[in-house]
């Protein structure tokens, strides 16, 4: 992608109000929305959602993306604010001098139709890389929480009434989800975003830890002056598969949560990767749930082969290249003796076959060898014990750090 005109100069680094900017944007934070299962009756009414996100790259002009994509009713946002978190966090308080009212076509309130996203107007606010932002939205009417990123690993807050502009709030509840909030982008001279498409190993672990492998990558990029303008957007969804949508067997306990696993990687690729502001690189780590879910929390009829997965990856590559993106394939990490029932000789053989293709076919623009980064050299079919969260499938913080360090920075130069 070529360079774009610069945004007009702001009157000051923290000047408030809507901003006129160029149309070039880089995603600095993101989440992948899903629908909810029938058993999820979460409803908000005359309440403020105060939600925390950490930006990956700096900016002086921002815009926010909201979503009603899985709602069946019109979403009324009565008022919305964005601010930097007080003292860098933790907690729900904001730095009052940084508080900005978000507008939509110049108006403070907006109604989002069912199935649609909504972008705020640009607003001037200086945010260094690694800043915690607080996005507060008031929902004046009865609003089902139908569009959600259910595995945020971030403490967020619900307060009664419209307290969007308050420095301090008295939360009525907390949760670890992002509701109706799917992206923050910054105005950029040369847009460049790396989008991570994956499952729970990409979505991360640990409440408020900000140690997803994508977070580690973002911090590494900031240490390289030439790469500091590259945003990192995490579009991982726990339980996500490349080839199939959630489909729990009738009567299975997974009916209570499988909807949170999101549409298949093939189905959501355009929205979650290609449509991201400034998207230039796609980083793909999908396949373990395609192997492990059939016969556990999906029908046996959805069992897939290595060839099925390879063909699915090829479809992502073709779509990325059609849009001019570089796309990098991540090898699937080991899961021998996992506690979820994923491992079998058949599944291990398929994982090895898929990883061999990712490494040697040359069809991806480059390889990110996550498998090599976290496997046990003495038993390559299992996670290194020092990197094992305990279920023998998900890496712990040390393992996620190793994965983030395994991404070659030369891929972004």
Closest CA to 400 of 214, 208, 199, 154: 214
Q: Domain locations in the chain?
A: 36-181, 192-412
Residue 372 burial (C-beta neighbours within 10 Å; 0-12, 13-18, 19+): middle
Say what the alpha-carbon torsion angle 91, 93, 99, 100 is, to the nearest 10 degrees: 60
Pick the CATH number of 192-412 from 3.40.640.10, 3.30.465.10, 3.40.50.1110, 3.30.1330.200: 3.40.50.1110
Distance CA 352, CA 10 (A): 53
Inter-residue contact 33 to 118 (CB < 8 Å): no
Both tokens of 289, joined, read 């749930």
**For residues 287 and 200, what is the distance between their CA atoms, to the nearest angstrom?**
11
- Going 18 to 22 to 27 to 32, the CA torsion angle's sign is positive
Chain center to CA of 167: 27
pTM: 0.94
pLDDT by residue, tens only, the chain of 413 residues: 333 333 333 333 344 445 544 459 999 999 999 999 999 999 999 999 999 999 999 999 999 999 999 999 999 999 999 999 998 667 999 999 999 999 999 999 999 999 999 999 999 999 999 999 999 999 999 999 999 999 999 999 999 999 999 999 999 999 999 999 999 999 999 999 999 999 999 999 999 999 999 999 999 999 999 999 999 999 999 999 999 999 999 999 999 999 999 999 999 999 999 999 999 999 999 999 999 999 999 999 999 999 999 999 999 999 999 999 999 999 999 999 999 999 999 999 999 999 999 999 999 999 999 999 999 999 999 999 999 999 999 999 999 999 999 999 999 99
Residue 275: Cβ-neighbour burial (10 angstroms; 0-12, 13-18, 19+)? middle
In the chain, count of helices (H) and strands (E)?
A: 8, 24
């Amino acid at each position: 992608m070529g360079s774009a005109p610069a945004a007009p100069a702001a009157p000051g680094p923290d000047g408030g109000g809507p901003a006129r900017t160029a149309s070039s944007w880089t995603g600095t934070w993101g989440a992948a929305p899903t629908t909810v299962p029938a058993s999820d009756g979460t409803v908000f009414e005359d309440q403020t959602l105060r939600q925390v996100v950490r930006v990956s790259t700096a900016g002086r002009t921002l815009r926010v993306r909201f979503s009603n994509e899985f709602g069946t009713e019109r979403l009324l946002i009565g008022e919305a604010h964005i601010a930097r978190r007080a003292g860098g966090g933790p907690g729900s308080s904001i730095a009052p001098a940084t508080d900005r009212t978000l507008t939509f076509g110049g108006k403070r309130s907006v109604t989002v139709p069912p199935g649609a996203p909504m972008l705020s107007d640009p607003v001037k606010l200086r945010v260094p890389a690694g800043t915690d932002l607080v996005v507060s939205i008031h929902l004046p009417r009865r609003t089902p929480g139908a569009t959600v990123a259910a595995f945020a690993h971030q403490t967020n807050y619900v307060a009664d009434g419209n307290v969007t502009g308050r420095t301090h709030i008295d939360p009525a509840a907390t949760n670890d989800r992002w509701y109706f909030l799917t992206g923050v982008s910054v105005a950029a001279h040369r847009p460049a975003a790396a989008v991570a498409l994956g499952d729970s190993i990409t979505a991360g672990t640990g409440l408020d830890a900000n140690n997803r492998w994508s977070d580690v990558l973002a911090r590494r990029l900031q240490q390289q002056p030439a790469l500091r303008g590259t945003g990192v957007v995490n579009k991982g969804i726990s339980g996500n598969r490349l080839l199939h949508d959630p489909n729990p067997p009738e009567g299975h306990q997974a009916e209570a949560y499988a909807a949170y696993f999101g549409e298949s990687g093939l189905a959501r690729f355009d929205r979650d990767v290609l449509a991201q502001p400034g998207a230039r690189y796609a980083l793909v780590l999908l396949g373990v749930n395609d192997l492990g879910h059939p016969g556990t929390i999906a029908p046996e009829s959805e069992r897939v082969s290595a060839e099925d997965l390879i063909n699915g990856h090829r479809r992502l590559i073709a779509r990325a290249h059609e849009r001019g993106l570089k796309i990098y394939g991540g090898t699937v990490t080991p899961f021998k003796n996992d506690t979820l029932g994923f491992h079998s000789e058949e599944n291990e053989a398929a994982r090895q076959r898929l990883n061999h293709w990712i490494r040697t076919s040359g069809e991806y623009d480059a390889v990110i060898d996550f498998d090599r980064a976290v496997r046990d050299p003495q038993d390559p079919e299992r996670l290194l014990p020092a990197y094992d969260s305990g279920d023998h499938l998900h890496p712990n913080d040390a393992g996620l750090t190793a994965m983030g360090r395994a991404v070659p920075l030369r891929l972004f130069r």
